Structure 1
């Protein structure tokens, strides 16, 4: 039996909930349903349970533009973010729209009926067929089932506990134990101080190469002062505008004067280490923002390293041993627990198999129109957040654009929209931009590609995107709209 729906949102994380709230506000005549493979809302903020899990963007920009973040913390832990999302669900009455433990298996756009035919496995492991006018992908870009896990030499020899942060064991007791964390990204630099403060005997961070790390205040004093004298919404908007400007300014400085920004970042770290830790562990070989810049609240990582409760090693792994890791230098790191903070396994649209009239859609051979809609694919959009700013900034402006597009189609009586791609625009770079991080490189075979020019070029520039999407017209030479086919032409195509 088929279930007819209007708009299908895949994912009940920060993108899906934000998009649903925008639809509720701006498209009251449209209905939507949200499917979520997990048992709860939150996406990333429900999945990751490791100690210290938190945002690495300030909450004035990581929060939605329509709902002020009302706590004083600059960065927020996973539970606080999930609580914030729960408030949005309640305020916009989204709970009845969310179908938990529902997994999309496949989706085929049938051009003869101008709709998506979606195969779903429900919470009773039974197959269902849903027929939708639009599919909106809000699943992020990584695999929720598996993290990225390289194979280490002799890994099985290790007799202790081996953990990936994406699958953190419940009630793991690491008190008094020697913990080795492999990695130097956002997860690793969060885990080091959290586990050291949580009672670990000693925590060692092992990295192949250093990462740029900036310290930010844990509390926004100016925001707190403004909230006492200004309306909450205004204080939030001013703080949000300030932090957006700072994010953009730092990134622009990295592009125009990388040596100056490098000098500033390294000097800040040097002052915080106070001669207690060798600067070689925090002096990357690349320029700032060639890879994502990491942040720590109140320099907590540097404080722990200074105290001696934790240490950092920069070396390559020769092999695992029964009780730790042997490095290429010949040094042995003893460990009771090894945490492999080695990153994400990249996946698009939650791994669903999408087809167009039965022909597979290879997203790596498509571009994104206005950074939102998949080229040559009807009635499909996806939200992919920024790599150099808060993810949610893109959610808000992309959602607003999608809402305007749907209203335009309703006004004109259209049921189908296709961004017509131009293969001469296609580049090898993905929409993730020019970062050299490992997960970016691994995204090449699944992520949509960059185009040479607008509207196919993804700039990862929030200020430019906000202006462009707000003012974008739908009457151009790229978007192709269609009205409903006459009834005698609506013959569903058989797809094997």
Structure 2
């Protein structure tokens, strides 16, 4: 992240493009990853210049995009919070509380002046002659075109398309006379009072939304193609309540709870790999007492995949199960045949009549925000590139991306990535290097480029739909990624910075 000033030739402005100058580091995205990167820039590099560009009109990333009823974390906040800032509140938190937490980080680090909202990056170009990135931007409010240059690029834009949610094209959609909505673009004025609602999906979004809207709706039916694994932890962990009663300092509580939740997730991950049958038995035994009497457990609550092959679905305090016991919520496990004028017809022939249908059908993966990359004039096809430890991309200089954990809390990896960036920067300064780029070694000449993820590792629908658009991985280090936190917290700090990286 050494300071680099582009040459006169590379910074010549086009007539209708405003030149916004040069920064040492440009961060794309003002969600959890981008704010974490900005915090580290402020605290570790007070003499460096940086800016954060965010396409949306406010901070928060997924917490700004998703504002449907009941939106909350599906990770505990003690591990979802940053290492440097203790979380004060219940283990599972509402989306608004998470935004408040991010606002505190922005205020404490004086980051507001460094974040530009409504600035969509439309393309990035690397020049080896200048050892700098040119970043093309369009302002949402004016349509004005801007250009920045930067010595180092941090891609913190998340991993899915925030603008276009995933919605299958079911037959008969044009005939449906009711309201069809997606949680990712929830209407502020939608009133569900007294309405019959069908929620399509069985993941975290569906199980968050269902109990929240069941309080007003006449009835809610959760329509799932296949069951998920559920876990019903308390909103406030018993240990956290005990520590609060003992008046333990918040920073102590934070560290203790982080260790508690990390140990729990480590054990679940170990069982998922080494003893999946035992983990299945444990999860089923934990869930069964919450279900209404007479529930067809085999049909509605026994997944087709092994536990930990997809993310566990959290049901804090068992609120969705409570709504089922009260009769406000029912579950149908079937496939959609078509939409009718009045609702959804499933393969069994039953029509689920609905005034409102919510397609909680997930999202689509996005490769670095679908921003076009060029290196020395040549377009980058990421499907032909390979990851370096889930941090950098082969042949793409001076760029580190942040991709969190799929099953642990995303932010645990945010902190590890920032540690890595600091170590990489120190290594570059020791070598007097302006540029670092991952490059395959001679012994990697015959290395197969494998799909972004192995289905046996993680098989959620959005991964299977989008993995062919993603960059690749290798069959050896350092060209692998998507490891568990228990492994990476040991291996990432010890990663050899001369293995697969070239410096210029």
Could you state the TM-score of these two structures normalised by the residue count of structure 1? 0.94
Is the Cα–Cα contact under 8 Å of residues 108 and 355 in structure 1 kept in the other structure? yes
State the SS of the aligned residue for 2:314: strand
1:492 aligned residue: none
1:395 aligned residue: 414
Query: What runs of 5+ residues in structure 2 fail to find an aligned partner?
Result: 1-12, 14-18
CA distance in 2, matches of 1:289, 1:182: 22
Is the Cα–Cα contact under 8 Å of residues 292 and 321 in structure 2 kept in the other structure? no
Equivalent of residue 379 in structure 2, options 360, 364, 377? 360
**How far apart are 1:459 and its partner, in Å?**
4.3
Residue 481 (1) aligns with residue 500 (2) = no
Equivalent of residue 341 in structure 1, options 341, 344, 360? 360
Equivalent of residue 224 in structure 2, options 202, 207, 217? 207
Runs of 4+ in 1 over 6 A off after TM superposition: none
Q: How many residues align?
A: 479
CA distance in 2, matches of 1:154, 1:397: 47
1:37 aligned residue: 55
CA distance in 1, matches of 2:453, 2:402: 12
Deviations 1:7-61 (A, max 9, x none): 0100000000011112222222322100001111101001111111111000100
Query: What runs of 5+ residues in structure 1 fail to find an aligned partner?
Result: 483-496
Deviations 1:211-263 (A, max 9, x none): 11111111123123324343322221111011111111101101111111111
- Equivalent positions of 1:16-35 (< 5 A) are 16-35=34-53
Is the Cα–Cα contact under 8 Å of residues 432 and 440 in structure 1 kept in the other structure? no
Is the Cα–Cα contact under 8 Å of residues 290 and 435 in structure 1 kept in the other structure? yes
CA distance in 2, matches of 1:233, 1:90: 19
2:468 aligned residue: 445
The range that moved more, 333-342 or 251-260, is: 251-260
- Equivalent positions of 1:245-260 (< 5 A) are 245-260=263-278
CA distance in 2, matches of 1:430, 1:363: 11
CA distance in 1, matches of 2:418, 2:487: 16
State the SS of the aligned residue for 1:105: strand
**How far apart are 1:472 and its partner, in Å?**
2.9
CA distance in 2, matches of 1:40, 1:320: 36
**How far apart are 1:351 and its partner, in Å?**
1.5
Residue 376 (1) aligns with residue 398 (2) = no
Equivalent of residue 224 in structure 1, options 203, 217, 241? 241
State the SS of the aligned residue for 1:222: helix
| Cα distance change of structure 1 residues 355 and 82 upon mapping to structure 2, 3 Å threshold | same
Is the Cα–Cα contact under 8 Å of residues 431 and 447 in structure 1 kept in the other structure? no
2:452 aligned residue: 430
**How far apart are 1:412 and its partner, in Å?**
3.2
CA distance in 1, matches of 2:355, 2:168: 20
CA distance in 1, matches of 2:88, 2:489: 24
**How far apart are 1:387 and its partner, in Å?**
0.8
CA distance in 2, matches of 1:260, 1:320: 40
CA RMSD across the alignment: 1.5
2:7 aligned residue: none
State the SS of the aligned residue for 2:315: strand
Is the Cα–Cα contact under 8 Å of residues 405 and 482 in structure 2 kept in the other structure? no
State the SS of the aligned residue for 1:339: strand
- Equivalent positions of 1:4-23 (< 5 A) are 4-23=22-41
CA distance in 2, matches of 1:25, 1:314: 51
**How far apart are 1:443 and its partner, in Å?**
2.2
More strand by percentage: 1
1:491 aligned residue: none
State the SS of the aligned residue for 2:266: helix
Is the Cα–Cα contact under 8 Å of residues 196 and 219 in structure 2 kept in the other structure? yes
Residue 167 (1) aligns with residue 189 (2) = no
CA distance in 2, matches of 1:311, 1:328: 17
**How far apart are 1:448 and its partner, in Å?**
2.3
Equivalent of residue 286 in structure 2, options 260, 265, 268? 268
2:118 aligned residue: 101
- Equivalent positions of 1:414-425 (< 5 A) are 414-421=433-440, 422=444, 424-425=446-447
1:305 aligned residue: 324
The range that moved more, 157-166 or 452-461, is: 452-461
2:199 aligned residue: 181
Is the Cα–Cα contact under 8 Å of residues 139 and 348 in structure 1 kept in the other structure? no
Is the Cα–Cα contact under 8 Å of residues 430 and 443 in structure 1 kept in the other structure? no
**How far apart are 1:424 and its partner, in Å?**
3.5
The range that moved more, 294-303 or 225-234, is: 225-234
Is the Cα–Cα contact under 8 Å of residues 105 and 120 in structure 1 kept in the other structure? yes
**How far apart are 1:300 and its partner, in Å?**
0.7
Is the Cα–Cα contact under 8 Å of residues 364 and 444 in structure 1 kept in the other structure? no
